[in-house]
Amino acid sequence: MACAHSASWHRLLAMGLLAVSAMLSGCGGGQGGGEVAEARQQVQSIRTKLATPALPLNICNAIDTSMVLSPVPPPVDDPRTGTVKVHYYRADGNYTDFGLHVWQINAANAYIADYPGVSWPNPLPQAGVDDYGAYWLIDKSVFRPDAAGFGFIVHKANSDGDPPGVDRFWTFADGNELWLKSGETTIYRTNPFGTGALDLNTVRVHYQRYDGDYANWGLHLWDTNGIDVTRLPGVTIGVWESPVPFAAMPNYALGAGEVVFDMPVVNPKVDATRTALEFIIHGMPSNPNGGVNNKDGWTNNIRVDYANLSPTGGVADVWLVQETPIVYYAAPDTRQISTTDARAYWFNSELIKWPRVGGSGSFKLYYGAAGQIVTPRDGLVIGADGSLPLSVYEGSIPDDVAERFKYVPAGTVLKLDRATAAAVGRSLATLQLVVVQEDANG
């Protein structure tokens, strides 16, 4: 069984290398400078090692089966410990047979693994019932190191969820306790029955787009959505065909990888019926992807529940991310970390696109002959033989390339120097390659 698995691994590896080789085969250009010469020398040295493999090629007949493959180093130990407490309230007080379907997610809220012992017919049983209602305890220590949080559905075994048809998500960065109410989709960060009226007059919105295109997007606002229209002089609201530009909002600023603007709201201390702010981000008429009917991944209104806010000086911050229908009440960590599956796309011999990644910091293409590269979060790269610099590409993607890769989500396009690509492109096709985004400390 182990031998068959190893053979399959080699076949998959060969297919992957062949694909990369095909995409790099068109490189051309002149000779590079010292940096290119050094990179070429490093890669040539690695190719020499690969030309004389230390392991037998007929791995199924190897004498020492423990030495057939050189394993990828295990992931760095994750210090994550403790639990997340999920509270659930029902007005009828009947919690019999209600369980929690739980699964592990990455930073993009995509499924990556089951929660141990949980399936749709066998939801996680309640840990108890307190003054609020039933609750479950999610053990953070059983999650994969690359898990950012979990998705969940409250339901009875093999029955629809409460509310029906809704998947909800919680990241570990959001905290260790959350509250739910039967029939509502809102995830409360504090007990919704235990908070008095907030002193809130402004919701500050941070909006991140990986493609950096803010001009083709705007806001749909209306006078009953919670905003204080008296503090938006000269702004026309309520017209779907004419979204409000972000730049027309108070305290608009274009920051590092985001725009920030203020939403003036009616203070709940003045009007206790004000419990949330609702609005829509959607396309301008000029938006090439659906015009005004593109709601950036949302099917409902964007709803900011005041019970989840902690204002300072009357101002509370929320964060929104392109094509992600979630209101974040703390700055989200959207970084992606993996050396075991493909996350970036080779467009041609020089251009690489990394979806759902902003263009801040610096980028490098790390390479290694032994397949031992590990990239711990907030740590230095381990196990690489070297790296090549990548620059953020600001030019236009060739039309034929854009058409071929139109399915790739928004992100940052990176460029390998043409001379470097010409010098080492074919050699790189035989190596493990990892694109890394680094801050000033590397």
Residue 271 per-residue DSSP state? -
d(CA 32, CA 416): 12
Residue 277, beta-bridge partner list: 304
Burial of 363 (0-12, 13-18, 19+ CB in 10 A): buried
Starting at the earlier edge strand, list the strands of the sheet with 98-105.
111-114, 98-105, 149-156, 168-171
Which CA distances in Å does 199 have to 67, 229, 308, 410? 65, 18, 13, 38
- State the CB neighbour count (10 A cutoff) for residue 155: 18
d(CA 89, CA 94): 9
pLDDT at 317: 96
pLDDT at 396: 86
pLDDT at 406: 86
pLDDT at 423: 77
d(CA 275, CA 255): 29
pLDDT at 355: 86
pLDDT at 38: 65
Cis preceding linkage at 163, omega within 30: yes
pLDDT at 52: 45
pLDDT one-digit tens code per residue, 198-238: 789 999 999 999 888 999 999 999 999 999 999 999 999 99
Q: Do residues 95 and 125 lie in contact, with contact meaning Cβ atoms separated by under 8 Å?
A: no
pLDDT at 108: 84
Below-70 pLDDT ranges, the chain = 1-80, 194-197, 336-342, 425, 442
- End-to-end CA gap in the chain: 42
**Sign of torsion over alpha carbons 414, 417, 418, 423:** negative
Burial 284-313 (b: 16+ CB within 10 A, else e): beebeeeebebbbebeeebebbbbbbebee
Residue 165 identity (one-letter amino acid): G
d(CA 41, CA 35): 10
pLDDT at 48: 60
